[in-house]
């Protein structure tokens, strides 16, 4: 039998929260936390909570599931749960792995869980590869850049861009999830930003708990409040910047 997935359920309606948690347990998952709103999810994660995937209701008080997904302290597979099919497009724009329409069924939930397992299996397999280079577009062809010279990756204008010495290059990737699968050592700065920790040369406190990060070559990026603790931990910073 596959190892049990450790998941978190965030839903403001107690009945729906308990129902989804029950279905997940019946599917063999360990429900690490049942949370009532978006801020509780971020607080749980910032407090050291760990999970293989998050099941987030899109419409919650305090912070919607979409807002939580944009402020995750580290990348986690996200499955959005919603009563409205029109939310599906926004869900995938936020790089969700999948979405469930309420009321979720055991059959449809099994599909989501399989996608989570495939994602978790794919990341270490690709991350272990020897090559630390990646292709970027150059005219009619491609050139290979070295990850060790790259400071960060940004999803912008429907493309993934890499930055080397302050210059940006359009990669062949379609999402930051694909970049993470290739290079698991990168750290999320926010939903549209990945940072190479070794490229960080300085940090300082920004507004609303954010972190202003200076990178090799002079580039500066802003890391979200939720992602700041994870980056500080990777940098070995024990105290607030």
Q: For position 129, what pLDDT does the model report?
A: 43
Instruction: Count CA atoms closer than 13 A to 224's CA, side-chain side.
Output: 21
Mean predicted confidence (pLDDT) in 115-127: 68
pLDDT digits 0-9 by tens, 22-42: 999 999 999 999 999 988 988
Q: How many domains does the chain have?
A: 2
CA distance 70 to 66: 6
**Is the per-residue pLDDT at 6 higher than 90?**
yes
Q: For position 94, what pLDDT does the model report?
A: 57
Q: For position 205, what pLDDT does the model report?
A: 87
Q: For position 19, what pLDDT does the model report?
A: 96
For residues 123 and 25, state if they share a domain.
Answer: yes
For residues 10 and 123, state if they share a domain.
Answer: yes
- pTM beyond cutoff 0.75: no
> Token digits for 239?
């105290």
Instruction: Classify residue 86 by burial, with Cβ atoms within 10 Å: 0-12, 13-18, 19+.
Output: exposed
Check residues 124 and 112 and name the one with the higher pLDDT.
112
pLDDT digits 0-9 by tens, 191-208: 899 999 999 999 998 888
Q: Give residue 62's region: left, alpha or beta (phi > 0; psi -120 to 50).
A: left
Q: Give the residue from 71, 100, 127 where a domain finishes.
A: 127
Is 204 inside a domain boundary? yes
Q: For position 18, what pLDDT does the model report?
A: 96
Find the domain containing 205 and state its range. 133-235
pLDDT digits 0-9 by tens, 39-71: 898 888 877 788 899 999 988 887 777 777 776
**Closest C-alpha to 187, from 239, 238, 230:** 230
For residues 69 and 179, state if they share a domain.
Answer: no
Is 223 inside a domain boundary? yes
Which of 8-17, 28-37, 183-192 is the least confident region?
Answer: 183-192
Long-range CB contacts (within 8 A, 24+) of 132-139: 132/183, 134/162, 134/171, 134/172, 134/173, 134/182, 134/183, 135/171, 135/172, 136/162, 136/169, 136/170, 136/171, 136/172, 137/169, 137/170, 137/171, 137/172, 138/169
């Amino acid at each position: 039998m596959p190892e049990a997935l450790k998941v978190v359920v965030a839903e403001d309606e107690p009945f729906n929260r308990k129902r989804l948690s029950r279905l997940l347990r019946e599917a063999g998952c360990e429900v690490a936390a049942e949370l009532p709103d978006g801020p509780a999810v971020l607080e749980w994660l910032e407090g050291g909570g760990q999970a293989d995937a998050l099941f987030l209701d899109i419409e919650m008080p305090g912070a919607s599931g979409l807002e939580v997904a944009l402020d995750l302290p580290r990348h986690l597979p996200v499955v959005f749960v919603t009563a409205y099919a029109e939310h599906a497009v926004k869900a995938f724009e936020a790089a969700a792995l999948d979405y469930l329409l309420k009321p979720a069924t055991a059959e449809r939930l099994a599909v989501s869980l399989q996608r989570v397992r495939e994602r978790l299996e794919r990341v270490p397999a690709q991350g272990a590869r020897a090559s630390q280079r990646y292709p970027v577009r150059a005219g009619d062809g491609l050139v290979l850049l070295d990850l060790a010279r790259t400071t960060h990756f940004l999803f912008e204008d429907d493309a993934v861009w890499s930055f080397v010495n302050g210059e940006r290059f359009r990669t062949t990737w379609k999402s930051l999830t694909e970049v993470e699968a290739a290079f698991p050592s990168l750290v999320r700065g926010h939903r549209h930003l990945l940072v190479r920790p070794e490229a960080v040369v300085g940090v300082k406190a920004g507004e609303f708990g954010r972190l202003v990060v200076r990178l090799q070559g002079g580039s500066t990026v802003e890391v979200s409040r939720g992602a700041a603790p994870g980056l500080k931990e990777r940098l070995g910073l024990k105290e607030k910047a």
